[in-house]
């Protein structure tokens, strides 16, 4: 894998024009957006590989972990990282705590959930990104591995996310976090879980997160039209992969109407935690992320929304080869830091 990683990094140093020629001959344009040349090269290479829908979930997890490891950056050396387990509703959950090196006293905190359709992914999926957030934002980050489908179907992941956030808030001082200044965040399925935690806080009456960071979140598992069609064949999340995730996580298609699975289905979004919503231009989930941000705003929730127009899904795990992804992730970290340091 080291050789492949080296080759990819060398190829990604080619001029934009050369990468576009290697990716089909002309820039990829969808919905008035032009894809980043390096992102286009990765998408073209990924499209030539067998789809994970042809694999069993265990094999898919291993394959995607190996592939992402070749694209991700190295974690910041400016953070201290601790491995731990935290209590979950069905047993211990693996977790990883990141704190800026040399930080004194408690810091705002963020409980983070990785992407992967509630089927693939683990603590390593967002390891580099969590370290970046801790470093750039100057906060403590708790990266939590929740239960995955099909071994654990809906609502298992959501219950784990709620339990992890509530435990972190209750044990904030032991984690070096400031009580009442703990947010939730995640990308894709992790964004769905973060939105779910924010809604459950309102429904169940526990302390709301200080902020909800939703990066290309799944907000409606039954969504159709718009970017679900225009970006249906874009790597790394073509529509068939999204459908595969849903089929493995849901008990029946009817689950998609449940607000605990599709946050967009909630009839009332008023009073939820302030939100940072970031989407990607070349992503089947783009339009539902924007739609959720718009509904939050219309309900009186404070929202910072941004679309990274030239990037595709999962750019948070591509900072080792995509300068545009690294810049986007650093901006997300600054946004989270600004929100949490002024919260409370």
**Catalytic site residues?**
188, 283, 313
User: How do strand 79-86 and strand 93-100 relate by DSSP bridges?
Assistant: antiparallel
**Residue 285 to residues 1, 130, 226, 227: CA-CA distances in angstroms?**
30, 22, 9, 7
Two tokens, residue 74: 């190295």
Block residue for tokens 């689950």: 255
Residue 150 near residue 245, CB atoms below 8 Å: no
Residue 288 near residue 219, CB atoms below 8 Å: yes
Residue (of 174, 182, 208, 173) closest to 111 by Cα position: 182
Residue 50: CB partners within 8 Å, gap ≥ 6? none
- Determine the 3-state secondary structure of 158 from DSSP: helix
Residue 213 near residue 336, CB atoms below 8 Å: yes
Count of other CB atoms within 10 angstroms of residue 67: 18
Start-to-end CA distance of the chain, whole Å, equals 46
Question: CA angle at residue 38 from 33 to 43, to 5 degrees?
Answer: 75
DSSP lists the bridge partners of residue 16 as none
**Residue 26 to residues 18, 36, 177, 306: CA-CA distances in angstroms?**
10, 12, 49, 26
Residue 219: CB partners within 8 Å, gap ≥ 6? 191, 192, 195, 262, 263, 264, 285, 288, 289, 291, 292
Torsion of CA 188, 194, 197, 202, to 10 degrees: -110
**Chain centroid to CA 291:** 17
């Amino acid at each position: 894998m080291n050789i492949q990683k080296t080759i990819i990094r060398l190829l990604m140093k080619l001029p934009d024009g050369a990468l576009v020629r290697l990716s089909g001959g002309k820039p990829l344009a969808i919905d008035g957006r032009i894809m980043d040349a390096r992102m286009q090269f990765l998408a073209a290479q990924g499209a030539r590989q067998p789809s994970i829908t042809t694999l069993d979930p265990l094999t898919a997890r291993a394959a995607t972990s190996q592939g992402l490891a070749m694209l991700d950056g190295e974690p910041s050396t400016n953070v201290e990282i601790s491995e731990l387990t935290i209590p979950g509703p069905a047993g211990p959950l693996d977790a990883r705590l990141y704190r800026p090196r040399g930080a004194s006293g408690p810091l705002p905190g963020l409980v983070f959930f990785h992407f992967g359709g509630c089927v693939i992914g683990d603590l390593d999926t967002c390891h580099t990104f969590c370290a970046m957030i801790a470093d750039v934002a100057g906060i403590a980050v708790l990266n939590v591995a929740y239960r995955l489908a099909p071994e654990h179907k809906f609502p298992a992941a959501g219950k784990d996310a709620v339990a992890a956030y509530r435990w972190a808030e209750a044990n904030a001082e032991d984690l070096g976090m400031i009580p009442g200044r703990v947010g939730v965040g995640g990308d894709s399925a992790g964004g769905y879980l973060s939105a779910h935690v924010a809604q459950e806080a309102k429904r169940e009456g526990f302390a709301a997160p200080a902020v909800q960071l939703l990066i290309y979140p799944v907000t409606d598992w039954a969504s159709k039209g718009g970017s679900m069609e225009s970006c249906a064949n874009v790597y790394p999340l073509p529509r068939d992969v999204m459908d595969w995730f849903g089929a493995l996580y849901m008990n029946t298609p009817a689950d998609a109407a449940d607000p605990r699975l599709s946050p967009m289905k909630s009839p009332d979004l008023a009073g939820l935690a302030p939100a940072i919503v970031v989407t990607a231009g070349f992503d089947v989930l783009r339009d539902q992320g924007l739609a959720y941000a718009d509904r939050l705003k219309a309900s009186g929730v404070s929202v910072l929304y941004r679309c990274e127009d030239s990037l595709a899904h999962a750019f948070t795990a591509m900072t080792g080869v995509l300068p545009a992804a690294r810049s986007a992730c650093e901006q997300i970290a600054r946004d989270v830091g600004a929100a949490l340091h002024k919260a409370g």
